[in-house]
Amino acid sequence: MAKDIVLTGLRTNAEYHLGNYLGAILPIVERANTLAGEYQINMFAPDLHSFTTPVDHAKLYAQTMHNLGLFVAAGLPITHNDVFIYRQSCIPAHSELSQILQNFAYYGELSRMIQFKDKSVNKSDNISAGLFTYPVLMAADILLHRAKWVPVGDDQTQHLEFARDLAQRINNKFGEIFVIPEPVAKQHDFVGKTQGTRIRSLRNPENKMSKSVEDPAGTIQLSDSPLEAAKKVMSATTDSVGIINFDWQTQPGITNLLQILALLTNRPQDEVNTQWHGKSSYGDLKKAVAEAVSDALDKLQTNLAKVDNQALIDKLESSEKAMNDIANLQLLKVQQAVGLRPV
């Protein structure tokens, strides 16, 4: 019996930061290490999605390869036979299936997508059609590989439900063409938590840490030196309450530091909160977080320097060959169903 497929990935359009590391890279690596063998792990670089927002095209290829190297440095088991790592753009069927699916998606449902509305507000003249149809390409990414499990953060749950609706729409019209991924609630149960981790900016803790260059002091890039990163933590915005509490509403800066500390020391959040609850020295908390961040970056950067780039390229090429074979078979089923190929 074929193994269930777990599909996961992270856009490679810019340099990764601490929020990406804690909220996506480490969870992806952990799932690959714990689930490979029982499940097939498809870890892909959604590089075609890079164009939905401004990107430095001259650096995109090198940035993609660098970011994939970071996954390996973080522990992605690329030698495991059940782990596949591939670039979206190297599987042409993604683009063709997306083109077909667009004709079964509705303008109204795409225009209601929260991410599109958030990113397009006050920028209507310069928003690309690619951002509008982003959910369709994401649906193609999922449905092409018959993925049952697609762990996503809160900002992507609407897109996952859209992919389920689109798959069911096609199946109702043409028969059992697609595997329908599990609903969001089951996806959350599968990964063992109810919502994605969102690391906040160190300077503007009401906002998430961002790849944007507009917040350099609030963002710890994974390429920052350990010393530079520690200085950013020590300069983090806190509050005037004077007592340490885990409370996103009234003390987001302090709460963000407690969250980072728990994740980097691999301790339960409640345990870390109890340790620091009621203490008045924000400086001591910052020092503890700065040390944890510095140690994590030092380890990651040391591992990155040891990554065998040729082994990574070899893994990409073998995975992309296998994924092309699988994707082309699924695409053919769709082409036959819609009348593009003889049955």
Rounded to whole angstroms, the Cα distance separating 102 from 97 reads: 9
Q: What tokens does 229 get?
A: 């990163």
Q: Enumerate domains of the chain plus CATH numbers.
A: 5-197+309-338 (3.40.50.620), 226-304 (1.10.240.10)
Burial 28-37 (b: 16+ CB within 10 A, else e): bbebbeebbe
Residue 309 has pLDDT above 90, yes or no: yes
Q: What is the pLDDT of residue 194?
A: 44
From 256, 182, 250, select the one nearest 23 (Cα to Cα). Answer: 256
Instruction: Give the bridge partners for 87, in sequence order.
Output: 45
Q: What is the pLDDT of residue 131?
A: 87
Residue 279 has pLDDT above 90, yes or no: yes
For the stretch 156-202, pLDDT in tens is: 889 999 999 999 999 999 999 999 999 998 998 888 764 458 899 99
Q: What is the pLDDT of residue 196?
A: 58
Rounded to whole angstroms, the Cα distance separating 163 from 143 reads: 8
Average pLDDT score over residue span 143-154? 92
Q: What angle do CA 213, 200, 196 make, to 5 degrees?
A: 115
For the stretch 246-258, pLDDT in tens is: 999 999 999 999 9
Average pLDDT score over residue span 96-102? 97
The sign of the dihedral angle between the CA atoms of 160, 200, 70, 55 is positive
Residue 154 has pLDDT above 90, yes or no: no
**Which are the catalytic amino acids?**
119, 208, 211
Rounded to whole angstroms, the Cα distance separating 80 from 333 reads: 29
Q: What is the pLDDT of residue 159?
A: 93
User: Which amino acid, 137?
Assistant: L
Q: What tokens does 44 get?
A: 């892909």
Q: Who contacts 13 (Cβ-Cβ below 8 Å, separation ≥6)?
A: 47, 49, 50, 53, 55, 60, 63, 211
Pairing of strands 83-87, 5-9: unpaired
Q: What is the mean pLDDT of the chain?
A: 93
In three state form, how does the secondary structure of 85-122 look?
A: EEEHHHCCHHHHHHHHHHCCCCHHHHHCCHHHHHHHCC
Q: What is the pLDDT of residue 1?
A: 59
Rounded to whole angstroms, the Cα distance separating 323 from 144 reads: 10
SS3 17: strand
The DSSP secondary-structure symbol of 225 reads -
Q: Could you give the percent of the chain with pLDDT greater than 70?
A: 96
What's the pTM value of the predicted model, to 2 decimals? Answer: 0.93
Q: Which residue has the tokens 């490679």?
A: 12
SS3 210: coil
Highest mean pLDDT among 26-40, 142-156, 189-203: 26-40
Provide the 10 A C-beta neighbour count for residue 235: 13
Q: Where are the beta strands (DSSP E) in the chain?
A: 5-9, 40-45, 83-87
SS3 221: strand
Provide the 10 A C-beta neighbour count for residue 137: 22
Q: Who contacts 17 (Cβ-Cβ below 8 Å, separation ≥6)?
A: 209, 210, 211, 219, 220, 221, 222
Average pLDDT score over residue span 220-229? 97
